[in-house]
């Protein structure tokens, strides 16, 4: 039974008054933003008369996008902490509606820049007043040519176009009743989205099977609804991609707005997506070897889906207090400099982390950011090693947000999608390094397992999910029917390629149901790039090929550099196979370490 939020000390809860002192302040900014949408839209009917006029337009648009980040952050956080709060639901619905209008306006602003590109070029040479907006204007002019009807489509039907996401959220989250199974000690255990992986680490194999089957039984009851909603989501994205001038869902997905949305689209080339999928598929042996090692460790004839998360050590997993978790992470980031650690410590003291799950709250882990305010982390901390690393991961995002705000105006307080997982996974690798050097034996044995999950899961697991999405999207784009059976078939083939050691179970073909379908298609590749990029960056920092100062510069680029420029600054060529191959060798090396260190058996 989860405790009530009122039973959790305030210091472990968000202080959302740093965004808005009261809900009434939210309402006032919402009204100002709503009015600003119409005002800016009216200004787009007239060509820019001079640089001052254009600067005013862009400054007003920048104010709107900054307000949007605050409204979205407050609405999402309020909804996360209390799913029963009707006022919070209303704020979230209103914010989503406004976001659709802002998305439509953003398309209009970018199209306005393209339509008047020659005039803008003249104004940029005549005056330095537009210099702060140089990158935004270049990005807008270079974007794809959208259908003029797109604004009307997004503004009139934007809420409907996002309806599939609300359906998926309701089915998989808000209306999902966690199944109850009998625990190893005979007590009832609720299987939730957020705790199921941790439950599947339990040494009791019968309990793990009950957890796996109960969770997938519950999903199977919703399978047709999930399949229908996700298929319609892909079809909708295909139509929107065509309207926006993209050749495919993938091209649009790789060019989606950076986060937070400020009107900048910093795309990743399709060739990079091809390279990472091909290279990972050609280097699966370390992943297969990891599966074989788990089967040997468990001493089972058949390795099953409920065995894949079991630790490769027999030592009991320690429980880590939140206070100890903070100290571990702060010590781990010391190689990034005293100022970096001090900034992180300040964030932790400002109640930026909502630490523990509570009754009627969402069990989610994420980091949101609000312009002019900073980051907010949802943690659902349970004291496990996995939760400790999730904490470090989200703080990597938080620190990028915090450092970026020092030097970037609101329009550039955003991160290209292809690079956004690098800082978070660098944090995980630094934490693993610190704990392997300084932790006790029981903890370090589990840390090595977690590093395998961090690199192996993000490299191989995310690549498998990325392949699934890509193949499903291509079915839709060919005009073929994408049924639940078709989706099961795609997943069955990928399972045999990525997990040949694992004997399929009844729900193996439909395991795709447990993925994060509420997110945009083509998001998984970011985690593959994150794993490959983080390994390369970590090695370069250790070898002094990349200085701490240059790494901090990368964290502060924001929307001023493309993703490929940012990777180049780090010395990582993601267009070549090498980074992915290097990450695969890390998995191989860690399996070597485990096989060579069998002294971790329980005393």
- Give the contacts of 209 (CB within 8 A, at least 6 positions apart): 304, 306
Confidence (pLDDT) at 194: 79
pTM of the model: 0.92
Q: Is the pLDDT of residue 251 over 60?
A: yes
Phi-psi region of 341 (alpha: psi -120 to 50; beta: other; left: phi over 0): alpha
Task: Please state which CATH class domain 5-161 belongs to.
Answer: mainly alpha
Q: How does pLDDT run across 393-407, given as a tens digit for each residue?
A: 999 999 999 999 999
Q: How does pLDDT run across 311-356, given as a tens digit for each residue?
A: 998 888 999 999 999 999 999 999 999 999 999 999 999 999 999 9
Quote the tokens at residue 390.
């999730």
Q: Which residues pair with 369 in a beta bridge?
A: 375
Rounded to 5°, the CA angle 442-448-449 comes to: 95
What average pLDDT does this structure show over 369-379?
96
Confidence (pLDDT) at 115: 92
The residue with tokens 């399949």 is: 227
The Cα–Cα gap between 122 and 50 comes to 10
Q: How does pLDDT run across 166-217, given as a tens digit for each residue?
A: 667 666 666 778 999 999 999 999 998 878 998 999 999 999 999 999 999 9
Quote the tokens at residue 40.
């800016």
Dihedral angle computed from the Cα positions of residues 70, 76, 80 and 83, in that order, rounded to the nearest 10 degrees:
130
Residue 601 binned pLDDT confidence (cut-offs 50, 70, 90):
very low
Residue 165 binned pLDDT confidence (cut-offs 50, 70, 90):
low
Q: Is the pLDDT of residue 256 over 90?
A: no
Q: How does pLDDT run across 503-538, given as a tens digit for each residue?
A: 999 999 999 988 867 788 899 999 999 999 999 999
Mean pLDDT of the chain: 91
Of residues 565 and 594, more confidence is placed in 565
Quote the tokens at residue 132.
């702060």
For 397-410, b/e burial (b = at least 16 CB within 10 A) is bbbbbbbbbeebbb
What average pLDDT does this structure show over 579-601?
83
- For residues 375 and 352, the answer to whether their CB atoms sit within 8 Å is yes
225-239, 368-382, 566-580: the lowest-pLDDT one = 225-239
- Of 432, 415, 434, 433, the closest CA to residue 423 belongs to 415
The Cα–Cα gap between 254 and 267 comes to 5
Residue 164 binned pLDDT confidence (cut-offs 50, 70, 90):
low
The Cα–Cα gap between 405 and 151 comes to 30
61-70, 130-139, 228-237: the lowest-pLDDT one = 228-237
DSSP states of 361-389? S----EEEEETTTEEEEE----SSHHHHH
Beta strands of 437-556 (E only): which ranges?
none
Confidence (pLDDT) at 520: 83
Indicate the domain borders of the chain. 5-161
The residue with tokens 């704020």 is: 91
- Cβ burial, residue 188 (10 Å; 0-12/13-18/19+): exposed
- Of 567, 535, 562, 563, the closest CA to residue 550 belongs to 567
The Cα–Cα gap between 452 and 586 comes to 8
The CA R_g of the chain, rounded to the nearest whole Å, is 24
What average pLDDT does this structure show over 543-548?
97
Confidence (pLDDT) at 239: 86
- Residue 157: C-alpha distances to residues 61, 413, 521, 578 (Å): 22, 28, 20, 44
Residue 470 binned pLDDT confidence (cut-offs 50, 70, 90):
very high
Q: How does pLDDT run across 13-35, given as a tens digit for each residue?
A: 999 999 999 999 999 999 999 99
What average pLDDT does this structure show over 358-376?
92
Dihedral angle computed from the Cα positions of residues 275, 278, 281 and 284, in that order, rounded to the nearest 10 degrees:
-50
Share of residues in the chain with pLDDT > 70 (%) = 93
Q: Which stretch of DSSP H or E encloses residue 43?
A: helix 23-43
The Cα–Cα gap between 38 and 61 comes to 11
Q: Greatest CA span in the chain, whole angstroms?
A: 79
Q: How does pLDDT run across 271-327, given as a tens digit for each residue?
A: 999 999 999 999 999 999 999 999 999 999 999 999 999 999 888 899 999 999 999
Residue 1 binned pLDDT confidence (cut-offs 50, 70, 90):
low
| First-residue to last-residue Cα distance in the chain | 33
- Of 534, 340, 330, the closest CA to residue 421 belongs to 534
Confidence (pLDDT) at 589: 94
The residue with tokens 């949101």 is: 368
Confidence (pLDDT) at 425: 98
The Cα–Cα gap between 76 and 84 comes to 14
82-86, 126-130, 409-413, 414-418: the lowest-pLDDT one = 126-130
The Cα–Cα gap between 359 and 2 comes to 5
Residue 260, preceding bond cis, omega within 30 degrees? yes
Confidence (pLDDT) at 600: 46
Confidence (pLDDT) at 595: 79
The Cα–Cα gap between 166 and 444 comes to 41
What average pLDDT does this structure show over 426-449?
92
Confidence (pLDDT) at 597: 64
The Cα–Cα gap between 246 and 162 comes to 19
Confidence (pLDDT) at 276: 97
DSSP states of 224-288? HHHHHHHHHHHHHHHHHHHHTT-SSHHHHHHTPPPBS-SS------HHHHHHHHHHHHHT-HHHH
Confidence (pLDDT) at 209: 97
Q: Which stretch of DSSP H or E encloses residue 190?
A: strand 188-190
Q: How does pLDDT run across 82-112, given as a tens digit for each residue?
A: 999 999 999 999 999 999 899 889 989 999 9
Q: Is the pLDDT of residue 433 over 70?
A: yes
Confidence (pLDDT) at 553: 97
């Amino acid at each position: 039974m989860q405790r009530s939020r009122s039973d959790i000390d305030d210091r472990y809860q968000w202080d959302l008054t740093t965004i808005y002192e009261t809900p009434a302040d939210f309402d006032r900014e919402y009204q100002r933003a709503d009015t600003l949408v119409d005002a800016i839209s009216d200004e787009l009917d007239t060509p820019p008369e001079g640089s001052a006029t254009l600067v005013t337009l862009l400054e007003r648009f920048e104010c709107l996008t900054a307000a949007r980040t605050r409204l979205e952050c407050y609405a999402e956080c309020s909804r996360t902490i209390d799913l029963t709060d009707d006022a919070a639901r209303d704020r979230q619905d209103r914010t989503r509606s406004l976001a659709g209008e802002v998305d439509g306006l953003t398309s209009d602003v970018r199209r306005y820049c393209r339509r008047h590109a020659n005039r803008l070029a003249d104004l940029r040479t005549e005056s330095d007043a537009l210099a702060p907006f140089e990158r935004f204007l270049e990005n807008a002019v270079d974007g794809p040519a959208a259908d003029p009807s797109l604004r009307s489509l997004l503004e009139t039907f934007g809420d409907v176009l996002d309806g599939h996401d609300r359906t998926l959220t309701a089915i998989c989250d808000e209306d999902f009743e966690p199944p109850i199974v009998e625990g190893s000690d005979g007590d009832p255990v609720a299987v939730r989205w957020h705790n199921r992986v941790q439950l599947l680490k339990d040494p009791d194999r019968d309990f793990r099977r009950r957890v796996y089957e109960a969770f997938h039984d519950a999903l199977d009851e919703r399978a047709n609804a999930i399949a229908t909603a996700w298929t319609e989501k892909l079809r909708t994205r295909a139509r929107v991609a065509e309207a926006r001038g993209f050749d495919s869902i993938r091209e649009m997905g790789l060019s989606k707005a950076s986060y937070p949305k400020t009107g900048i689209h910093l795309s990743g080339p399709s060739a990079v997506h091809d390279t990472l999928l091909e290279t990972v598929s050609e280097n699966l042996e370390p992943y297969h070897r990891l599966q074989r090692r788990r089967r040997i460790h468990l001493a089972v004839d058949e390795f099953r889906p409920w065995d894949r998360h079991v630790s490769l050590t027999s030592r009991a997993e320690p429980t880590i207090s939140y206070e100890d978790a903070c100290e571990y992470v702060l010590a781990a980031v010391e190689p990034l400099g005293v100022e970096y650690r001090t900034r992180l410590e300040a964030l932790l003291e400002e109640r930026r982390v909502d630490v523990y799950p509570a009754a009627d709250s969402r069990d989610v882990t994420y980091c949101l950011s609000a312009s002019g305010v900073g980051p907010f982390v949802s943690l659902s901390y349970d004291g496990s090693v996995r939760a400790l690393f999730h904490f470090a991961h989200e703080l990597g995002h938080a620190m990028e947000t915090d450092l970026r705000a020092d030097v970037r105006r609101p329009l550039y307080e955003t991160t290209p999608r292809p690079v956004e997982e690098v800082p978070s996974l660098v944090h995980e690798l630094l934490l693993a390094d610190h704990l392997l050097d300084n932790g006790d034996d029981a903890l370090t044995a589990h840390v090595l397992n977690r590093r395998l999950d961090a690199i192996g899961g993000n490299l191989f697991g995310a690549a498998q999910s990325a392949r699934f999405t890509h193949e499903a999207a291509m079915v839709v784009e060919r005009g073929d029917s994408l049924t639940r059976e078709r989706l099961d078939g795609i997943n069955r083939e990928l399972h045999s390629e990525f997990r040949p050691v694992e004997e399929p179970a009844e729900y193996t073909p439909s395991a795709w149901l447990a993925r994060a379908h509420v997110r945009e298609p083509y998001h998984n590749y970011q985690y593959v790039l994150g794993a490959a990029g983080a390994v390369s960056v970590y090695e370069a920092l250790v070898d002094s090929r990349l200085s701490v100062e240059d790494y901090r510069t990368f964290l502060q680029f924001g929307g001023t550099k493309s993703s490929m420029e940012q990777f180049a600054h780090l010395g990582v060529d993601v267009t070549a196979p090498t980074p992915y191959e290097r990450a695969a060798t890390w998995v191989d090396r860690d399996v070597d370490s485990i096989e060579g260190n069998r002294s971790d058996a329980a005393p």
